[in-house]
Amino acid sequence: MNAQELQAFRQQKDQEFKNSYQSPLTPEQQAAFDGLIYYEHMPALDLVVTLEPFEFQDEVELQTTSGDVKDFTRLGRFAF
């Protein structure tokens, strides 16, 4: 992802936080939201990774910050 793509991704995320019904913000927080504070893009820290799939892709349950439990699939591990 280059700097322009990263900027567009961040702008889209900020718009979703401010306007989406799925936003983690309350309506009051959405009304006052001006965007997240991001670190400057540093290309030297970009990673190129490969997903090494697990032979068996187990289902796991994880608790979310809201206290709900969601099902996830462990697909593999990243190699870099």
How do residues 11-51 score in pLDDT, each as one tens digit? 999 999 999 999 999 999 999 999 999 999 999 998 899 99
pLDDT-based confidence at 1, cuts 50/70/90?
A: confident
Do 2 and 27 lie in one domain? The reply is: yes
Find all residues with CB under 8 Å of 38, minimum gap 6, and list them: 10
Tokens of 77: 């591990």
Q: How many domains does the chain have?
A: 2
Q: Are residues 2 and 34 in the same domain?
A: yes
27 lies in the same domain as 51: no
- Write out the residue range of the structural domain in which residue 56 sits: 47-80
Going by pLDDT thresholds of 50, 70 and 90, the confidence category of residue 80 is confident
Residues 31 and 54 in one domain: no
Q: Residue 53 is encoded by which pair of tokens? A: 């799939």
Q: Do 34 and 58 lie in a common domain?
A: no
Q: Token pair of 12, please?
A: 């889209």
Confidence of residue 68 (pLDDT cuts 50, 70, 90): very high
Residues 1 and 34 in one domain: yes
Q: Considering all CA atoms of the chain, what is the largest pairwise distance in Å, rounded to the nearest integer?
A: 47
Record the pTM: 0.62
Are 52 and 26 found together in one domain?
no
